[in-house]
């Protein structure tokens, strides 16, 4: 599945590997393809709406045991939005149908109904002393339990359910999140964490990654951070980045001056749910 540019996460990983002369081979696993848990060092699944999720549900469930085996062997995995929901125990749709998940995470997702407000807008979340940025658009509310811990804690936005302040999930080296955008290009530290874990799984030792020039990535991240915090304060997601000119200036070869983001802690924007959306 590839909604809201989730394939950009693969492009980001490829770029950051090639920049370090790390060979990266990407296999696209589709319907009816076998999945060998011993053949891969990193797993990725993106998001999708009801139609896409219903189409892959049975096939993914058939691959569930192999994916769980890989996760238990510490193969790193990133699951985004609809893929994240399927990595849980089940997803209950707005009309009550329950789709079983593959059970990587001890969590479940419930859509409160088609008249419920969506969780939509820009997100900032605290993760290991840093801030992740992204965009969320989901109707389902996800609740963690057992050994599954949240990936991050919400600063701005809704996160898993808009209630408990959690965003995403983590179990061993598997990461789940609602953050689109794409996630990894604006959060290179998380991208490098996944690459490092993949190399550690392949070679059995921690490998220090060579630093890269992340000037463009940092500018994009700072703009996304500013937008999310301003949207939080204004109660609106339909805004343009206040410092988007800084990023444009960088690409034009004219480095713009720096700045800091700020904002009040108010409720983010909400939109009514649309049929067929997670």
Q: What is the dihedral of CA 256, 156, 79, 220, to 10 degrees?
A: 0
Task: Give yes or no: 145 in active site.
Answer: no
Same domain, 253 and 153: no
Q: How far apart are CA 59 and CA 45, in angstroms?
A: 13
User: What is the SS3 assignment for the chain?
Assistant: CCCCCCCHHHHHHHHHHHCCCCCCCCCCCCCCCCCCCCCCCCEEECCCCHHHHHHHHHHHHHHHHHHHHHHHCCCCEEEECHHHHHCCCEEECCCCCEEECCCCCCEEEECCCCCCEEEEEEEEEEECCEEEEEEEEECCEEEECCCCECCEEEEECCCCCCCCCEECEEECCEEEECCECCCHHHCHHHHHHHHHHHHHHHHCCCCCCCCCCCHHHHHHHHHHHHHHHHHHHHCCCCCCCCCHHHHHHHHCCCCCCCCCCCCCCCCCCEEECCCCCC
The pLDDT score that the predictor gives to residue 242 is 37
Q: How far apart are CA 91 and CA 99, in angstroms?
A: 5
Q: Residue 12 falls within a domain, yes or no?
A: yes
The pLDDT score that the predictor gives to residue 1 is 52
Same domain, 57 and 136: yes
Same domain, 130 and 79: yes
Q: How far apart are CA 182 and CA 23, in angstroms?
A: 22
Same domain, 227 and 197: no
Confidence of residue 110 (pLDDT cuts 50, 70, 90): very high
Name every residue whose Cβ is closer than 8 Å to that of residue 178 and which is 6 or more positions away in sequence.
80, 81, 84, 119, 123, 134, 136, 138, 142, 159, 160, 167, 168
The catalytically annotated residue of 81, 111, 138, 237 is: 81
The pLDDT score that the predictor gives to residue 95 is 85
> Of 2-16, 101-115, 151-165, 205-219, which range is least confident?
2-16
Same domain, 182 and 54: yes
Task: Give yes or no: 81 in active site.
Answer: yes
Q: What is the average per-residue pLDDT within 65-82?
A: 97
The pLDDT score that the predictor gives to residue 131 is 96
Same domain, 58 and 154: yes
pLDDT digits (tens, 9 = 90+) for 18-40: 999 999 999 999 888 999 999 99
Same domain, 27 and 159: yes
What is the share, in percent, of the chain residues with pLDDT greater than 90? Answer: 68
Q: What is the average per-residue pLDDT within 258-271?
A: 35
Q: How far apart are CA 213 and CA 216, in angstroms?
A: 8
Mean pLDDT score of the chain, rounded to an integer? 84
Q: How far apart are CA 134 and CA 183, in angstroms?
A: 6
The pLDDT score that the predictor gives to residue 55 is 73
pLDDT digits (tens, 9 = 90+) for 206-259: 999 999 999 999 999 999 999 999 988 887 544 333 333 343 334 434 333 333
Same domain, 91 and 188: yes
Q: Residue 157 falls within a domain, yes or no?
A: yes
Domain residues for 228?
215-272
The pLDDT score that the predictor gives to residue 269 is 34
Q: Residue 210 falls within a domain, yes or no?
A: no
The pLDDT score that the predictor gives to residue 2 is 56
Same domain, 117 and 220: no
Count how many domains the chain has.
Answer: 2
The catalytically annotated residue of 111, 119, 138, 180 is: 180
């Amino acid at each position: 599945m590839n909604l809201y540019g989730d394939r950009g996460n693969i492009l980001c990983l490829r770029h950051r590997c090639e920049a370090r002369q790390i060979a990266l081979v990407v296999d696209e696993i589709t319907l009816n393809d076998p999945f060998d848990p011993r053949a891969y060092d990193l797993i990725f699944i993106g998001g999708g709406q009801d139609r896409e999720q219903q189409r892959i549900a049975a096939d993914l469930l058939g691959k569930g045991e192999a994916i769980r085996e890989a996760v238990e062997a510490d193969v790193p995995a990133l699951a985004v939005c609809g893929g994240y929901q399927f990595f849980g125990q089940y997803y209950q749709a707005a009309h009550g149908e329950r789709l079983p998940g593959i059970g990587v995470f001890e969590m479940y997702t419930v859509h409160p109904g088609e008249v419920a407000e969506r969780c939509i807008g820009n997100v900032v979340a605290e993760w290991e002393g840093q801030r992740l940025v992204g965009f969320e658009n989901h109707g389902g509310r996800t609740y963690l339990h057992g050994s599954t811990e949240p990936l991050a804690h919400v600063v701005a936005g809704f996160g898993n359910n808009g209630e408990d302040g959690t965003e995403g999930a983590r179990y061993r080296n598997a990461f789940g999140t609602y953050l689109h955008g794409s996630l990894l290009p604006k959060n290179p530290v998380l991208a490098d964490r996944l690459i490092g874990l993949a190399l550690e799984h392949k070679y059995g030792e921690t490998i220090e990654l060579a630093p890269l020039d992340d000037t463009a990535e940092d500018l994009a991240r700072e703009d996304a951070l500013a937008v999310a915090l301003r949207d939080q304060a204004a109660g609106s997601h339909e805004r343009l980045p206040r410092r988007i000119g800084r990023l444009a200036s960088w690409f034009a070869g004219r480095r713009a001056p720096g700045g800091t983001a700020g904002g009040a802690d108010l409720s983010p924007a909400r939109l009514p749910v649309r049929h067929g959306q997670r």
